[in-house]
Amino acid sequence: MAQLALDGEGSLQRQLYRSLRAAILDGEPGPGRRLPATRVLAGDVGVSRNTVLQAYDQLLAEGYLTARGGSGTYVADTLPDERVAVGQLAGGGRGRDSAAPPRAPRLSLAAQRMLDVVPRGMSWNLRTVPLPYDFRYGAPAFGDLPLETWWRIMGRRARHLSARRLSYSKPGGAPELREALAAYLRRARGVVCSPEQVIVVHGTQQAIDLTIRMLVDPGDRVIVEDPHYPGIAFNAAAAGAELVGVPVDDDGLCVDRLDAAAPARLVCVTPSHQFPTGGVLPLARRLELLRFAEREDALILEDDYDSEFRFDGRPIESLQGLDQNGRVLYAGTASKLLFPSLRLGWLVVPAPLRRPFLHAQALADTGSATLEQLALADFIEDGHLERHVRRSRTRNGARRAALLEALATHFGERAIVSGTDAGLHVMLWLPELAAAHVPALCDEARARGVGVYEVTGFYRQPPKEAALLLGYATLIEKAIGDGVARLAEAYAAVAAR
Ligand SMILES: Cc1ncc(COP(=O)(O)O)c(C=O)c1O
């Protein structure tokens, strides 16, 4: 038997096991050949006999070896199928754990573009150690959810699910949910559509992905708000689009700056609660945006991610509801209304785009899980969703009031708060602090158990003033007050440097 090499990773027993397995997959020793006695191999390799015994036991258990009572240990006549396949796929019959690291397969151009646009070191994971005062944005108030009702409806649907519903569902989503959504969106958001125009997706992110995949070619110009939700910009840049940022002010997108960004294929906007600054696009700007799209032959992706939570002023209907010319694709999500892990959202497309988008969805994943879709349909039809939104709006309104009061008490004139009319987060501007000190402020806050978030990653042109993003839905009022007091301490520590 050839000399065995250990790779130095993990326990000696695992190293020897990997080395032996690779040798067997290489055919040396071949099927039916006898392995050295454990004491002999231990001496050859320089490990204890017990280590060899454990490695042999593992290989015996996996079917690489057989023990012939009294006469020793042999390589099995036939190797376990899937292990051989792994060895062959890894090339030259060598096992996956052999010393040479596997070569990275060549990626497509689209994949390479995607890796180029997502910043190095970017993590998609949320913080695993929770902070006691975490002003995380993007999360709804889990404690406010009517979960008993949700599980009851899920249980009822699950018990009565017919065999037919266990099969593939139609692309586009369960008809019950599309109907419930079309009616709900008309009532709550002024969206004008037939159920056939509603495509059930796995949240806004998939709506963004489908839209860009179906409408944008490499080199096409895509207008994004500056600042914007990064999930849109990454996706468009990965598709090879030329991204152009148009600034926002307190009223959202500066539509008078659109002409300078023309020509455009797609304009991505958050008109009901600009992400992240919070402005609500006034009617006159909405109409101007629609005229721009018509003039430029462009389409608009309306990301309506959290507008149900509107506190001040009259609710403004969706941009889609004003669109007379089939220019707007409307995306909404259950992530803020209910909870993100539900992974249900909806994309309302102009009628001529319905078929192409259904094909795209069928090719992508054939749609969302039926049971959850049916439960959401019942949840909407039975009035639970709107009841929940009403209650949550009241509770979130109280949290928002606690936040504004605490900021006024602890920061006074040193802070300006924007984006308070709607949604579940606010922007906190700190005009007396240098923008370069924001990371230090976040660190100081974290050391005091407070999570606050930088905004520079949302900008194409980073702001000159210091700013933070504060979500408040997941905290109770007392924690909001205490957290802001601690944030003010952190601010004082950084400002004194
Ligand atoms: C502005 C905005 N758009 C889209 C999304 C994506 O939401 P989801 O894919 O969970 O529906 C988020 C998530 O926080 C968001 O903040």
pLDDT tens for 241-256 read: 999 999 999 999 999 9
DSSP 8-state code for residue 34: B
For ligand 1, atom 4: residue with the closest CA? 204
- Final residue of a domain: which of 89, 105, 120? 89
CB neighbourhood size of 103 (10 A): 7
∠ Cα 213 215 216 (to 5°): 75
Average pLDDT for residues 211-225, to the nearest whole number? 97
Is the pLDDT assigned to residue 97 strictly greater than 60? no
- Report the pLDDT averaged over residues 185-200: 97
Using a pLDDT cut of 70, give the percent of the chain over it.
94
* 222 belongs to a structural domain: yes
Residues lining ligand 1, Cβ inside 6 A? 138, 203-205, 229, 231, 270, 275, 303, 305, 333, 335, 340, 345
State the closest ligand 1 atom to the C-alpha of 340, by its place in the atom list counted from 1.
10
How far apart are alpha carbons 459 and 440 in whole angstroms?
19
313 and 407 fall within a common domain: no
pLDDT for position 126:
67
Is 379 inside a domain boundary?
yes
Calculate mean pLDDT across residues 10-24.
89
Angle, nearest 10°, between helix axes 354-364 and 204-215?
110
Task: Measure 305 CA to ligand 1 centroid, in angstroms.
Answer: 6
In this structure, the answer to whether residues 372 and 418 fall within a common structural domain is no
Using the predicted structure, report yes or no on whether residue 128 has a pLDDT greater than 70: no
Residue type, position 391, single letter: R
Same-domain check for residues 158 and 226? yes
Do 268 and 223 contact (CB within 8 A), yes or no? yes
Residue 375 lies in a domain: yes
Can you give the pLDDT at residue 297? 97
Q: Which atom of ligand 1 is nearest to the CA of 333?
A: 11
**pLDDT for residue 3:** 76
Predicted local distance difference test score (pLDDT) of residue 82: 53
The dihedral sign for the CA sequence 23, 29, 35, 38: negative
Which CATH number characterizes residue 18's domain?
1.10.10.10
CA 205 to centroid of ligand 1, rounded, Å: 6
Which single residue is written with the structure tokens 């409307």?
330
The tokens of 254 are what?
A: 């500066």
pLDDT at position 191, please?
97
Instruction: Ligand 1 pocket test: pick from 124, 126, 137, 204 the residue with the most ligand atoms within 8 Å of its Cβ.
Output: 204
d(CA 492, CA 449): 16
Is pLDDT above 50 for 89?
A: no
Over 90: is that where the pLDDT of 28 sits? no
**Residue ending a domain, choose from 328, 351, 386:** 386
What does the chain come to in residues? 497
Would you say residue 96 has pLDDT above 60?
no
Distance between Cα 23 and ligand 1 center (Å): 50
Is residue 365 domain-shared with residue 279, that is, in the same domain? yes
Least confident of 23-37, 94-108, 263-277: 94-108
Measure 275 CA to ligand 1 centroid, in angstroms. Answer: 10
Q: What is the pLDDT confidence band of residue 99, given thresholds at 50, 70 and 90?
A: low
Q: Which protein residue has the closest C-alpha to ligand 1 atom 13?
A: 138
| CATH number of the domain encompassing residue 409 | 3.90.1150.10
**99 occurs within a structural domain:** no
Q: Name the residue of 268, 335, 344 to mutate for ligand 1: max ligand atoms within 8 A of Cβ.
A: 335
Q: What is the number of domains present in the chain?
A: 3
Atom of ligand 1 at shortest range from CA of 203: 11
CB–CB of 261/476 below 8 Å? Answer: no
- Average of pLDDT values for 401-412? 96
The torsion angles phi and psi of 139, rounded to 5 degrees, stand at -110, 140
Domain of residue 454, residue span:
133-139+390-495
Least confident of 110-124, 293-307, 397-411, 413-427: 110-124
Amino acid at 432: E
CA atoms of 38 and 23, how far apart (whole Å): 16
d(CA 136, CA 108): 35
Which tokens in the block code for residue 111? 């994949």
> Which position has the token pair 């040798």?
23
Note whether 340 and 434 are same-domain residues. Answer: no
Q: What is the CA radius of gyration of the chain?
A: 29
For ligand 1, pick from 211, 229, 469 the residue to mutate: most ligand atoms within 8 Å of CB.
229
Reading phi first (left if > 0) and then psi (alpha if -120 to 50, else beta), residue 203 is in: left
Nearest CA to ligand 1 atom 5: 204
Mean pLDDT of the chain: 91
Same domain, 32 and 74: yes
For position 384, what pLDDT does the model report? 98
Q: What's the burial of 197, exposed, middle or buried (CB within 10 Å: 0-12/13-18/19+)?
A: buried
Q: Which atom of ligand 1 is nearest to the CA of 343?
A: 10
Q: Is 145 left (phi over 0), alpha (psi -120 to 50) or beta?
A: beta
- Are residues 165 and 226 located together in one domain of the fold? yes
d(CA 199, CA 348): 6
CA of 369 to the centre of ligand 1 (A): 20
Residue 125, in any domain of the structure: no
- Whether residue 416 sits in one domain with residue 470: yes
Same domain, 325 and 447: no
Give the model's pLDDT for residue 88. Answer: 45
Q: What is the mean pLDDT of residues 142-164?
A: 95
More confident residue, 330 or 2: 330
75 and 197 together in one domain: no
Q: Are residues 439 and 479 in the same domain?
A: yes
46 CA from centroid of ligand 1 (Å): 56
126-130, 278-282, 330-334, 407-411: least confidently modelled range: 126-130
Q: What is the pLDDT of residue 171?
A: 86
Residue 109 forms part of a structural domain: no
pLDDT at 103: 85
Which of 15-24, 124-133, 163-172, 450-459 has the lowest average pLDDT? 124-133
Q: Looking at residue 317, which CATH number applies to its domain?
A: 3.40.640.10
pLDDT above 60 (res 146): yes
Among 90-104, 165-179, 194-208, 477-491, which stretch is predicted with the lowest mean pLDDT?
90-104
Q: Are residues 162 and 226 in the same domain?
A: yes
Nearest CA to ligand 1 atom 7: 204
In the beta sheet, which residues pair with residue 470?
Answer: 426
Number of Cα atoms under 13 Å in the Cβ half of residue 59: 29
Sequence-distant (6+) residues with CB within 8 A of 32 are 74, 75, 77
Minimum-distance ligand 1 atom for the alpha carbon of 334: 11
User: Does residue 92 carry a pLDDT above 60?
Assistant: no
pLDDT of residue 151: 97
Which of 329, 333, 344, 424 has most ligand 1 atoms within 8 Å of CB, for mutation? 333
Atom of ligand 1 nearest to the CA of 138: 14
CA-nearest of 147, 180, 129 to 341 is 147
pLDDT in tens, 445-495: 999 999 999 999 899 988 889 999 999 999 999 999 999 999 999 999 999
Query: Which atom of ligand 1 is nearest the CA belonging to 335?
Result: 10
The per-residue pLDDT for 423 is 83
Q: Which pLDDT score is estimated for 325?
A: 97
- If you average pLDDT over residues 300-304, what whole number do you get? 98
